[in-house]
Structure 1
Amino acid sequence: MIIKTQRVYLNEFSIKLPGRLLVLPTMMIVLLFGVVDAQSRPDTLFFKDRLQPISEENIFSTEGYYNWGPSIIKGDDNRYHLFYSRWKKAYKFTGWLTHSEIAHAIAKHPEGPYKFKETVVKGRGNGHWDAITAHNPKIKYFDGKYYLYYISTNLGEQDYTENDLIETAHTGYEHPNWAILRPNQRTGVAVAESLNGPWKRMENPLIEPSGPITTLTVNPAIDRGSDGRYYLIVKGDKPNEKRFIRNQAMAVSDSPTGPFTILAEPVIDYLDTEDMSLWYDSTRNYFYGVFHAHSFIGMVSSSDGKNWKKATEFALMSKKLVMKDGTELIPDRLERPFVHVEHDEPRVLAMAMKKGDAASIIFRPIAPKPKYPLPNERQLAWQQAEMGAVFHYDLHVFDREAYGQANNRIDPVKDYQIFNPSALNTDQWVKAAKDAGFTFAILTATHETGFALFQSAVNPYSMKALNFQEGKGDIVRDFVTSCRKYGIKPGIYLGIRWNSFLGVHDFEVNGAGEFKKNRQRWYNHMVEGMVKEICRNYGELFEIWFDGGADSPANGAPDVLSIVQQYQPNCLFYHNKQLAEARWGGSESGKVNDPCWATFPYYSTGAGESAPARIAENNFQLLKEGDPNGTYWMPAMADAPLRGYNGRHEWFWEPGDEDHIFPLTDLMEMYYGSVGRNATLIIGLTPNAEGVLPEPDVNRLKEWGDEIRNRFGRPLAQLENGGLKGSISFDRPTRIDHVVLQEDIRKGERVRKFRVEGLIDDKWKVLTRGENIGHKHIARFDEAKVRRLRYVIEAQTLAPIIKKFEAYFVGHK
């Protein structure tokens, strides 16, 4: 596992310069070889996993009205003021273009419940740019004044009556007036010294379309940057585009009332989006914007307000809502996202929702940022899974030659038609993993040859090209189906860093100049397409593993994180330069160090010999041990091939290699040194050229699973939900030689030091000591006969929550 390191982030507070480490204040920029790179500083606003379920109190509606376009501000009265659009249901939903007004509601809490107070702004009537409607507001406070940004439209010189507007609303998009009203939409602003008004409007629109947008300027969002300038996002039509696609454009001014200059480059032009909401985060020195696309609510970020990229958390949520009672609310439309922020921390994600003939505003609470790192649901499930398999399968399994990684990365397989597993049986693979006690399994859908073990529409070097199964085979499909059959969670390994067939090495295609540039663009597009195929075509996945770590798109690599987030929101992402939800355990021995903390000082890792210096030093000690004071939750993976005994280390099948299957005693040592040390163990398994897992491997896996179950299948006694101390009593002196402790890691790793004691001949004797418990700590010690057994937490960061304390007797094993 190695990763190319062009740009190194040792953490949010330090930079790596040639030959030395320089620690800087948080707000200082990160330098790349002494050159300022505005986009290199990462955004670390992680809040999507803190989005909470909603209740009825988080849904705001008013009788007889459609409600839309929320914007929240906290007033001097310590209340929360909601400015939003509304229009009478009598005008139908399309009445937003003809009859919308801006209203004001108040609540004690940002998530509601809100109570209507008053109508604030309406269309001013004929002769004004904002003659008809006031819609989609954004409320801001700058230098002692309140600014209410909104959109409106007019019918130009055309005379009209109220009945004409009602007819337009009832007819909708097909009415001739629609073709006038929509292009005349513009953004404006009203100013007041109080949230209660009076509101003074400008006589002209704030901004006209130019540059990356045409036709109209609508749905404004604005904030002030650290440079004192004002950054305004507006939406318009995409130029030179026959389809109905919108762009988001950035405009900059020295004043909140303009004049604004639209920048040449759009904020978003790579997908059709709407309804940007913008804020500047002074703590992280970053701009953030949320938007809605066709199927999800997303986020973009910028370190300077001008150059924007997909945020680390690009896909915040799909367009469905979870209620507190566990039911799902699936809207017909979910739009106009707005993040209410206080002290640079998101508090509420507000959205407009249409369901049937009702349009309401949803306030999704955001839990406070924890004072210490906690696992998200994906990480929690991954740690609780404890043991998994990774099946390595590729073209060179069939060449009957010894596998050599270095050559495999640069030498294409001479004839890919050698792929012909005559007895392919993924059920047999997965059942063997099940018998070993594994709860998840991963398949190498692509590895270093570049060959894809599935039906790909974007990669011609895939199973479509084979004579095998008449080009209709799909091992990923078969594998996932087998996993579901045996109750195993399926995962996928994607090797995108090397591709000997296409001449890709360390993410870069070979060649020079425009030839290389164009081929790199094509390769990145192909990889992104494959990731999308894997994410969309095979159901829910447990983990996606990019071996060696996928690089960052900021370095010219394929953009994979955003795809996984959008299409596999419950899948553990492992890993790239932007994010690692788990970490490599520092060796391929199947073991980690003791202690091994699930917390880590950095949000992502390098890998192998090219990892950042702080991570790579002392033979990857930081990866093996973690950091008890780490800022981020990033649990360890211990991995090893089953055929790694006696000087071998085989991730792929080789003929005549059975002597190198690890003995049972070694495998048990792996179990103790991984699962027993708060790490998740992943074992490499090697299907052969016939398409089955060799019988000796199957037998060894069954023996291993049986041994684990024999030792730890049934405790002699156990205690659940303990605190600083906990004890177990026996009816008579009882032999024990193992204890298992588990923390409730939903609340974090709180224990820093503990001991376990046994009552022997009426005296307490220390049986074992440790520092870290985490998800699971297994301690072995000399056999002892005890009447009572207790643990004592000697040091902790917060009140410890011991999920389980169990006693076992294994005996001579």
Structure 2
Amino acid sequence: MRYKVPHGWMMIFLCFVHISAAQHTTDDLRLYDNFKPITSEHVFKTEGYYNWGASIIKGDHGRYHLFYSRWKKEYGFLGWLTHSEIAHATSKSPSGPWTFREVVLEGARNNRWDAITAHNPKIKYFDGTYYLYYIATNLGDHAFTEDELIETAHTGYSHPNWKILRPNQRTGVAISKSIHGPWKRMDKPLLEPTGPITTLTVNPAIESGPDGRYYLIVKGDKPNETRFIRNQAIAVSESPTGPFQILEKPVIDAIDTEDMSMWYDESRNRFYGVFHAEGFIGMVTSADGINWEPSNEYVLMPKKIKRADGSLLVPDRLERPFMYCEDGSPKVLSLAVKQGDSSYTVFIPIENSTYPKPNSRQLAWQEAELGVVFHYDLHVFDGVKYGQGNNRIDPVNDYQIFNPEHLDTDQWVRAAKAAGAQFAILTATHETGFALYQSDVNPYCLKALKWRDGKGDIVADFVASCRKYGIKPGIYVGIRWNSFLGVHDFKVNGVGDLRENRQQWYNNMVEGMVKELCTNYGELFEIWFDGGADHPDNGAPDVLPIVRKYQPNCLFYHNGQLAEARWGGSESGTVGDPCWATFPYVATGAGESAKKNIAANNFQLLKEGDPNGAFWMPAMADAPLRGYNGRHEWFWEPGDEAHVFPLEDLMTMYYKSVGRNATLIMGLTPDPDGLMPQPDVERLKEWGDEIKRRFENPIASTSGQGTTLTLKLKAPHLMNHIILQEDIKAGERVRRYAIEGQVNGQWKTIAQGESIGHKRIQHFDAIKVKGIRLKVLESTGKPILKNVSVFYVPGI
């Protein structure tokens, strides 16, 4: 049945929609890195039963109540459609462990709409009353026996009854004044399929809005589809029991989605919903409850669950996400797991950290300290000096000039390793738009070459070399410029429909390329979008969900939604002093979308960060190896060997980047033969050897917590360097410090500074001391120093 909404109510409703849409709201909810590993306490199984579809509510006396589906295993997994019942369990914590209490709803029989089952519940509390939303089905006028239901369950989809049971699935509600019941069922389902859904209305998600109305999401089949694809519809009512009006616009229309869970975030004035789709658990958001869009964290998590022992749970099926919120914050994500002949519910605790800390990808990136980026593109082969301005707008005349006859990516990676690099990045595409791999979506790639009969794949060679020599591989994707396709600052040239159609084609191609790079070459350490990838709201390709889905351990750098690292404000290989790992914004923006104050004072905010920033975003210092004496060459140029940085300049960069809490990335330039030039190889080796000479063997080391840390030596010793390192897993806590040396029984200040973070290299005039004392003069929490090491480096 489709209910008719009174005209006056609809006018009020439309007015509310207009006002809500005009409000300024922000989607800054970040959960992707806040899911804690699960233990056995977070797993709820019932002996002899399949468990499914959980929903949590907090009751009196601090107890938590779980309502969930279950059916006996003797009926088989498909018995959910014939024998599911709703059970009740309790716990002292929303993450478990849970204890079964009783069955609260079963199939009602008696020729009712919910005669056969009670399944997939959602428990809600509105205005002093509990509402238990659930789905059920019936066999119409067909009389049935228990034996027939058992036969239907065992036979499954091919049984004739399946074609009756499935289209008769509907959503209803049972009501009680007590969480313990009794539960009074409604005589009719809440609504019938219409608008964006057909066939059925199932798996309810409901929330009250700030206007006092109720927003219900249900699942149905997508209309006019020959494929089996589901849609999510939104319905609105003035009452938790209806009547509900299904609106014409679906919640999500782009992909096949399942099983929404929904809540309203008062602090953000936004609705949120989680769902599951192929390969991931996703999140959408809405400012008004009606117009929904992907959240900035659209891919909330891949369908893999971390265990406390470090292993991963990768189930056969991971569905029915439910987000339990308390005091306005998500606390637990529950998921239904199907693994072999078992199904159960897991409850993933969510960390609510108010202090910025690195995620696992950022931590690995900072601990790597030094990496390289190999720039390679068509114009390396034209014998003409690279000019960035014309390279961005003028296509290379003949792409067949690409012919690295002696290509040796092993040699590239060995050179990087000799310098001490822990990771290496390759420009899979740059400003010409030419792709250095076998792409099925971009025809302007190595497939088009005569070189290696069109079968070459430099990305594959590069990644294999990295793994051979223990270097972590990363990929640089240039999408902001593409001279071949006429893309300038993300925008395809042209006017009208021609431009719009080409822009959509380009965006689809870029998204396809990112998926190829994320799925064809194994695990990546970093993906680097040159100049950022802009925000999809600005018409840019939507790349973040692809990386999140297929490369959950890959550092994302960066677009308008997220920057897991930040450019350090120059291409000098140095950052400011101090240089904090925190930043006031979750993204730096790209091109014209960047916030104006980020570029102020010659990018001071990027160079120094913000000690009070809410987001962890460590700095990247970058420079080309061939940048000495007025040159700045990211790509190989003929006759440029004299512009390789001298060793002393490289060490200065190291001190002013790695030694100032940044990660240094050095640009390297393979030549037209496909080799790193020998002068560059030799300089990299000298650099690596010098870093080891200075810092491989400390005189002494210590670690500890607190505002004072003392390192005593067995005898007075000359020293001129100290390395300080915080345990940044707990965040960046030290704000100001002093280093004192014990000279002739007296403590003397020999150095001081502000930030420490992952690493601070303090260089001072040589002094003979009997001990070192670190005094933290100001901090935002208990300082945790994982390393204090002293060195004497002769000759500097």
TM over 0.5: yes
Separation in structure 1 between the aligned mates of residue 46 and residue 595 of structure 2, nearest angstrom: 56
Q: Return the match for 1:472 from 446, 455, 461.
A: 455
Deviations 1:380-429 (A, max 9, x none): 00100100001111001111111111111111111111100111111111
Q: Return the match for 1:360 from 335, 344, 352.
A: 344
The Cα of 1:610 is off from its aligned counterpart by 6.6
Matches within 5 A, 1:141-156: 141-156=125-140
Q: Return the match for 1:157 from 141, 147, 156.
A: 141
Q: Return the match for 2:436 from 440, 443, 453.
A: 453
Q: Which position in structure 1 is the counterpart of 2:156? A: 172
Instruction: Establish whether residue 231 from structure 1 lines up as the match of residue 232 from structure 2.
Output: no
Contact 1:39 1:307 in 2 (8 A): no
Contact 1:39 1:302 in 2 (8 A): no
The Cα of 1:302 is off from its aligned counterpart by 2.0
Separation in structure 1 between the aligned mates of residue 425 and residue 775 of structure 2, nearest angstrom: 39
Q: Which position in structure 2 is the counterpart of 1:198? A: 182
Other structure's SS at 1:77 match: helix
Shift in CA distance, 607/638, structure 1 to aligned 2, threshold 3 Å? farther
Q: Return the match for 1:591 from 557, 569, 574.
A: 574
Q: Which position in structure 2 is the counterpart of 1:277? A: 261
Shift in CA distance, 451/371, structure 1 to aligned 2, threshold 3 Å? same
Matches within 5 A, 1:395-794: 395-607=378-590, 611-794=594-777
Instruction: Establish whether residue 105 from structure 1 lines up as the match of residue 86 from structure 2.
Output: no
Q: Return the match for 1:186 from 156, 161, 170.
A: 170
Q: Which position in structure 1 is the counterpart of 2:371? A: 388
Deviations 1:531-565 (A, max 9, x none): 00000000000000001111111111110000000
Deviations 1:356-376 (A, max 9, x none): 222211111222x12210110
Separation in structure 1 between the aligned mates of residue 627 and residue 211 of structure 2, nearest angstrom: 58
TM-score under structure 2 length normalisation: 0.96
The Cα of 1:789 is off from its aligned counterpart by 1.2
Separation in structure 2 between the aligned mates of residue 284 and residue 116 of structure 1, nearest angstrom: 36
The Cα of 1:299 is off from its aligned counterpart by 1.7
The Cα of 1:151 is off from its aligned counterpart by 0.5
Q: Return the match for 1:71 from 49, 55, 67.
A: 55
TM-score under structure 1 length normalisation: 0.94
* AA partner of residue 703 (structure 2): E
Other structure's SS at 1:780 match: strand
Separation in structure 2 between the aligned mates of residue 242 and residue 785 of structure 1, nearest angstrom: 82
Deviations 1:3-53 (A, max 9, x none): xxxxxxxxxxxxxxxxxxxxxxxxxxxxxxxx9976985421112212122
The Cα of 1:506 is off from its aligned counterpart by 1.1
Q: Which position in structure 2 is the counterpart of 1:16? A: none
Shift in CA distance, 576/41, structure 1 to aligned 2, threshold 3 Å? farther
Q: Which position in structure 1 is the counterpart of 2:10? A: none
* AA partner of residue 733 (structure 1): P
Other structure's SS at 2:367 match: helix
The Cα of 1:721 is off from its aligned counterpart by 2.8
Q: Which position in structure 1 is the counterpart of 2:324? A: 340
Separation in structure 2 between the aligned mates of residue 103 and residue 267 of structure 1, nearest angstrom: 29
Contact 2:192 2:201 in 1 (8 A): yes
Separation in structure 2 between the aligned mates of residue 424 and residue 788 of structure 1, nearest angstrom: 53
Contact 1:595 1:677 in 2 (8 A): yes
Separation in structure 2 between the aligned mates of residue 567 and residue 309 of structure 1, nearest angstrom: 21
**Is there any run of 5+ residues in structure 2 with no aligned partner, and where?**
1-18
Bigger mean CA offset, 37-46 vs 310-319:
37-46
Deviations 1:154-183 (A, max 9, x none): 111112122211111111111000001000
* AA partner of residue 232 (structure 2): Q
Deviations 1:481-506 (A, max 9, x none): 00001100000000011111011111
Shift in CA distance, 439/304, structure 1 to aligned 2, threshold 3 Å? same
Other structure's SS at 1:250 match: strand
Contact 2:53 2:320 in 1 (8 A): yes
Separation in structure 2 between the aligned mates of residue 183 and residue 742 of structure 1, nearest angstrom: 62
The Cα of 1:229 is off from its aligned counterpart by 2.2
Separation in structure 2 between the aligned mates of residue 111 and residue 123 of structure 1, nearest angstrom: 29
Other structure's SS at 2:481 match: coil
Other structure's SS at 1:544 match: strand
Instruction: Establish whether residue 321 from structure 1 lines up as the match of residue 332 from structure 2.
Output: no
* AA partner of residue 499 (structure 1): N
The Cα of 1:304 is off from its aligned counterpart by 2.3
Deviations 1:208-241 (A, max 9, x none): 1112111111101011222322211111111111
Q: Which position in structure 1 is the counterpart of 2:284? A: 300
Q: Return the match for 1:287 from 231, 249, 271.
A: 271
Separation in structure 2 between the aligned mates of residue 230 and residue 630 of structure 1, nearest angstrom: 37
Bigger mean CA offset, 392-401 vs 114-123:
114-123
The Cα of 1:318 is off from its aligned counterpart by 2.6
The Cα of 1:608 is off from its aligned counterpart by 6.6
**Is there any run of 5+ residues in structure 1 with no aligned partner, and where?**
1-34
The Cα of 1:130 is off from its aligned counterpart by 1.0
Separation in structure 2 between the aligned mates of residue 417 and residue 52 of structure 1, nearest angstrom: 51
Number of equivalences: 778
Separation in structure 2 between the aligned mates of residue 349 and residue 435 of structure 1, nearest angstrom: 45
Separation in structure 1 between the aligned mates of residue 642 and residue 24 of structure 2, nearest angstrom: 49
Deviations 1:189-224 (A, max 9, x none): 111111111222221111111121111111010112
Separation in structure 2 between the aligned mates of residue 195 and residue 692 of structure 1, nearest angstrom: 72
Shift in CA distance, 746/99, structure 1 to aligned 2, threshold 3 Å? same
Contact 1:609 1:616 in 2 (8 A): no
Separation in structure 1 between the aligned mates of residue 391 and residue 26 of structure 2, nearest angstrom: 34
Structure 1 stretches of 4+ moved >6 Å: 35-40
Shift in CA distance, 607/674, structure 1 to aligned 2, threshold 3 Å? farther
Other structure's SS at 1:182 match: helix
* AA partner of residue 184 (structure 2): K
Separation in structure 1 between the aligned mates of residue 633 and residue 110 of structure 2, nearest angstrom: 79
Other structure's SS at 1:338 match: strand
Contact 1:52 1:365 in 2 (8 A): yes
Other structure's SS at 1:194 match: coil
Contact 1:231 1:251 in 2 (8 A): yes
Q: Which position in structure 2 is the counterpart of 1:7? A: none
Instruction: Establish whether residue 119 from structure 1 lines up as the match of residue 111 from structure 2.
Output: no
Separation in structure 2 between the aligned mates of residue 500 and residue 327 of structure 1, nearest angstrom: 45
Separation in structure 2 between the aligned mates of residue 542 and residue 37 of structure 1, nearest angstrom: 40
Separation in structure 2 between the aligned mates of residue 453 and residue 126 of structure 1, nearest angstrom: 67
Separation in structure 2 between the aligned mates of residue 388 and residue 453 of structure 1, nearest angstrom: 20
Q: Return the match for 1:95 from 43, 65, 79.
A: 79
Shift in CA distance, 536/38, structure 1 to aligned 2, threshold 3 Å? farther
The Cα of 1:145 is off from its aligned counterpart by 1.1
* AA partner of residue 278 (structure 2): H
The Cα of 1:312 is off from its aligned counterpart by 2.0
